[in-house]
């Protein structure tokens, strides 16, 4: 039977794609790490990596092994952390996924608050679009994630908040009015995520209700690219106000509320289904909801409606 620690080494190498970087992270000698992988391959009777100038690349069999053990290994690690910590403070490592629009406004304050209030928790924030986060969550690569609605299947999800989506840009004349009807967006050149992502689904749903044909000139599944294009002044986008709060406050960007209908986005906190969430993950969720409630109260999540669970 493969050694638990050896399997943990395997997952780390698969993530980083490099023996050197993995050895540095784990603080063990590279030859020893390489030997451990050779032993694992011999035990299993398969080749897990192809080794070359591009580093350690998973074979098809290696990918199958990673997909099957990443989640269980993380759960075992949490269990060990919890046993060690009883009955003292909550400790552990938590991998928490967030969409880019949440990372920009929520992640820094959440990380700082956890460092002060729960120093035993090591928080790893993973940025990604909702569809990707859901896949990583189901594969066990994340402990929890903020996802866009509707309620995703196959995970334990509880509602976080509903927030409005607004028109964001620089020079478009509609932004000067502060409010516009959705059908007026028909002639506005837009950059939006592709149709598989939660934010785009919310926008397209509102467009269908108002029978509006949107002018999507560019699809970009990168929040930073979307922002770069909007800052050039030619294109607008549609986002929750919190995502551009600092840019609007500084005068770099402008927003306008959209009505008839007002596009809204549901947000959930999701955890792996079928597994008892470790105390560290629950503690992170508690502080996250507290931070969101504070930001709603301060108007950062303008037009948002929180939940009683905060």
Judged against a pLDDT cut of 90, whether residue 150 lies above it is answered with no
What does the block give as tokens for 107?
Answer: 């992640």
Mean pLDDT across 83-109 = 80
> What are the φ and ψ backbone dihedral angles of 74, each rounded to 5 degrees?
-65, -40
Of 11, 1, 20, the C-alpha closest to 49 is 11
Residue 306 CB neighbour total at 10 angstroms: 18
CA distance 235 to 39: 55
**What region, left, alpha or beta, does residue 55 occupy, with left being phi > 0 and alpha being psi -120 to 50 degrees?**
left
pLDDT for res 27: 80
Judged against a pLDDT cut of 60, whether residue 305 lies above it is answered with no
Q: Are 37 and 55 in contact (CB under 8 A)?
A: no
| 79 pLDDT tier (thresholds 50, 70, 90) | low
Domains of the chain, CATH where assigned: 4-73 (1.10.10.10), 89-162+266-306 (3.40.190.10), 166-262 (3.40.190.290)
| 1 pLDDT tier (thresholds 50, 70, 90) | very low
Judged against a pLDDT cut of 60, whether residue 209 lies above it is answered with yes
Beta bridge partners of 121: 92
What does the block give as tokens for 31?
Answer: 């030859």
pLDDT tens-place string over residues 163-207 = 889 999 997 888 988 899 999 999 899 999 988 787 888 899 999
């Amino acid at each position: 039977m493969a050694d638990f620690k050896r399997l943990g080494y395997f997952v780390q190498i698969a993530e980083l794609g490099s023996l050197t970087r993995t050895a540095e992270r784990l603080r063990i000698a590279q030859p020893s790490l390489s030997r451990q992988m050779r032993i694992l391959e011999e035990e299993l009777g398969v080749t897990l990596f192809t080794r070359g100038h591009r580093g350690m690349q998973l074979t098809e069999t290696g990918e199958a092994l990673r997909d099957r053990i990443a989640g269980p290994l993380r759960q075992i690690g949490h269990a060990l952390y919890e046993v060690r910590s009883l009955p003292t403070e909550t400790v552990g490592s938590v991998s928490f996924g967030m969409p880019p629009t949440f990372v920009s406004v929520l992640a820094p304050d959440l990380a700082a608050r956890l460092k002060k209030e729960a120093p035993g928790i090591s928080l790893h924030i993973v940025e990604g679009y909702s569809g990707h986060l859901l896949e990583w969550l189901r594969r066990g690569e994340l402990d929890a994630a903020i996802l866009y609605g509707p309620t995703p299947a196959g995970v334990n999800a509880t509602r976080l908040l509903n927030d409005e989506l607004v028109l964001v840009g620089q020079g478009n004349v509609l932004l000067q009015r502060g409010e516009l009807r959705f059908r007026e967006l028909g002639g506005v050149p837009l950059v939006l995520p592709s149709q598989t992502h939660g934010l785009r689904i919310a926008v397209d749903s509102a467009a269908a209700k108002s029978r509006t044909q949107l002018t999507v000139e560019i699809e970009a599944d990168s929040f930073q690219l979307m922002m770069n294009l909007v800052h050039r002044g030619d294109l607008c986008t549609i986002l929750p106000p919190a995502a551009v709060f600092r840019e609007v406050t500084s005068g770099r960007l402008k927003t306008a509320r959209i009505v008839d209908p007002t596009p809204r986005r549901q947000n959930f906190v999701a955890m792996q289904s079928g597994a008892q969430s470790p105390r560290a993950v629950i503690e992170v969720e508690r502080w996250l909801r507290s931070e969101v409630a504070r930001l709603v109260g301060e108007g950062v999540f303008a037009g948002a409606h929180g939940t009683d669970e905060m």
